[in-house]
Chains A and B, each alone.
Chain A
Amino acid sequence: MDHTLISAAEELPGASLEPTPAATRGIDLSRVTMEFELDGEQLRALDDVTLHFAEGGFHAIIGPSGCGKSTLLRLVADILHPTAGTIEVDGLRPKAAREAHEIGFVFQSPTLLPWRSVRHNIVLPAEIAGAHASPRNVDDLIALVGLKGFEEARPAQLSGGMQQRVAIARALVLRPKILLLDEPFGALDEITRQRMNIELLRIWQESETTAILVTHTISEAVFMADQVVVLAARPGRVQTIIPIDLARPRTLSLTQTSSFNHLENQVRGALFGQEV
């Protein structure tokens, strides 16, 4: 695989030529609260969360189960609606951003249609958008996610990792500005996961999107992100935000360094508090 790409993350925010004011670029959550009703009880999944995700960055969200990290992604994707507070994606409300096809979503399960080939699964969003969309060239996309030669395969013929590649390609087909990843490799084994993470970084840099990754693996969060948002549970709230100033492109040898270990410990400390 090709790992010799430039580190695009730091350069992207300034490189934008669009007329939107700089303050509204990226993703902004301000004072977002989300409540569910479960078995007749009010449940506060997110409590007064204010966050900024810089445009073009790779952001990781980590926290114990029940901290509302998946809820947060679904709020940004307009799958759920906040009880209070506002969310803006490049100055747009999530609904508008979604309707403008600016959001790509990858779930923990590949969520592919079993009767469609790889190619036809990837073009599904373009098919739904119809004439409004200008999809990427599917062959380029298939090459980007490393599925050349499997265009006509059915999902059942692919391994879990390859199915997730299809899901990533599908999320990118309409050139979204943001890519939301909900534990995308959570169901894969550790070895495949490492490999997929490196590839995901490469794909993200090529596709020039803002990525938000929800994970519950500390090393994964540190390895992937420019900043790690640590959430606390019951109610879900921001514990702390840890910037990750490691150089890109990131390689496996990075995980052996002391600065990597130090950042891991920092995240661990934020997650477990006095227990550590």
Chain B
Amino acid sequence: MIAVSDRPLRSAPWLEVARGLVGTLAFIALLLVLWEYLINSFDVPAFIMPSPAEVLRSFNSDHERIVEALLFTLRSGAIGLVCATTLALVLAASFAASDLLSRAFLPMVIFVRTAPVLAIAPILILIFGRGVATSVAVVVIVAFFPIMVNALRGFRTVEASMLELMHVCGASRGQVFLKVRLPSSLPFIFTGLRAASASSLLAVMLAEWLSGAPGLGTLILKANSYRELGLLWAAVLTTMATAFAIFATFAAAERRLAKWSI
């Protein structure tokens, strides 16, 4: 008989994660040391780049403000992402199910997708006011398209013979969706989610920038205008770390799913 393809044995996933974490931390520590050294030896003025010690000091003195702002931003982003995903999946499923619907509305969706949807943020501030609602709405319009487009692609890439098989088995539309279309499009949906999550943080902060809601975006803007350079850098670094963590999380989930579904 034909043998099962032998896949190389892999070390335990937690070990891999731990190794990656240690590597990243070491890299960051090295950067910090280099940064401190450069600042001190070349006497770089603080407005160009404060020293790590200075940034650490403001992390220490302002951590409450930073954490508060971060949580606020994350909350708006998470709510927005959930709403966007729900909306996107429902619409993608309806487009996949109805030819008429997709012929009528899909061209418009594709058309709107080419516009920089973030530019609509001022309109959303007009409509939703200067609170969380605007942040959520901005995330929804930004995250909706990548998730919808990828989910639809996933729903549609199901093999024709698989659908014929389900038909021969007498499967209902609901069964086809739950047993075939949805699971086979999960990797696509997560690709969309990864793309969406990256732009979602940008979207929330931009909304805060324009609306003044008390999140990271506003904190950065304020620190910038009051020339609190330590705080500015602390907030920017927090943002970068958060963006990276979100991206890494979704990318890991996507990889896992892709492996599972091949």
Contacts and interface: CB of A to CB of B under 8 A. Distances in A.
Q: Tell me, yes or no, whether A binds B.
A: yes
Contact of B169 (A124, A150, A153, A159): A124
B159 interface: yes
Contacts of A127: 179
Given A98-B170, A156-B262, A150 B161 contact: no
B11 interface: no
Given A114-B261, A115-B260, A159 B2 contact: yes
Interface residues of A, number: 31
Contacts of B167: 78-79, 98
B115 interface: no
Contacts of A153: 4
Interface in A132-188: 146, 150, 153, 156-159, 161-162
Interface string B167-188: 1111100010001100110000
Contact of A109 (B1, B2, B5, B161): B161
A164 to B, nearest CB: 11
Contacts of A109: 159, 161
Interface stretch (A54-62, A99-107, A200-208, A214-222): A99-107
Contacts of B16: none
B56 interface: no
Given A146-B1, A156-B262, A161-B2, A111 B162 contact: yes
B253 interface: no
Contact of B179 (A111, A114, A124, A156): A124
A31 interface: no
Contacts of A157: 4-5, 7
A146 B179 CA distance: 26
B36 interface: no
Contact of B168 (A103, A108, A161): A103
A190 B192 CA distance: 42
- Interface secondary structure of B, over-half rule: helix
B4 A128 contact: no
Interface in B147-178: 159, 161-162, 164-171, 175
Given A79-B168, A159-B2, A114 B162 contact: no
A162 B1 CA distance: 9
Q: Which of B2, B164, B168 has the most A CB atoms < 10 Å from its CB?
A: B168
Interface in B216-244: none
Contacts of A150: 4
A224 B159 CA distance: 28
B184 A113 contact: yes
B159 A111 contact: yes
A74 interface: yes
Nearest to A159: B2
A94 to B, nearest CB: 10
Interface string A242-267: 00000000000000000000000000
Q: Which of B4, B162, B184, B260 has the most A CB atoms < 10 Å from its CB?
A: B4
Contact of A158 (B4, B170, B180): B4
Contact of A114 (B168, B171, B262): B262
B183 A107 contact: no
A102 to B, nearest CB: 10
A74 B171 CA distance: 16
A6 interface: no
Contact of A128 (B1, B2, B161, B170): B170
Interface in A84-118: 98-99, 101, 103-105, 107-109, 111, 113-115
Contacts of A78: 167-168
A267 to B, nearest CB: 27
Nearest to B5: A157
A111 B161 contact: yes
Contacts of A113: 162, 179-180, 183-184
20 contacts: A79-B167, A79-B168, A98-B167, A98-B168, A101-B170, A105-B164, A105-B165, A105-B168, A107-B165, A109-B159, A109-B161, A124-B169, A146-B1, A150-B4, A153-B4, A156-B262, A157-B7, A158-B4, A162-B1, A162-B2
Interface of B: 1-2, 4-5, 7, 159, 161-162, 164-171, 175, 179-180, 183-184, 260-262
The 8 closest A-B pairs by CB, nearest first: A107-B161, A159-B2, A125-B169, A111-B161, A128-B171, A128-B169, A105-B168, A157-B4
Given A105-B168, A107-B164, A114-B262, 14 more contacts: A98-B167, A98-B168, A104-B168, A107-B165, A109-B159, A113-B183, A115-B183, A115-B184, A127-B179, A128-B170, A146-B1, A157-B7, A158-B4, A161-B2
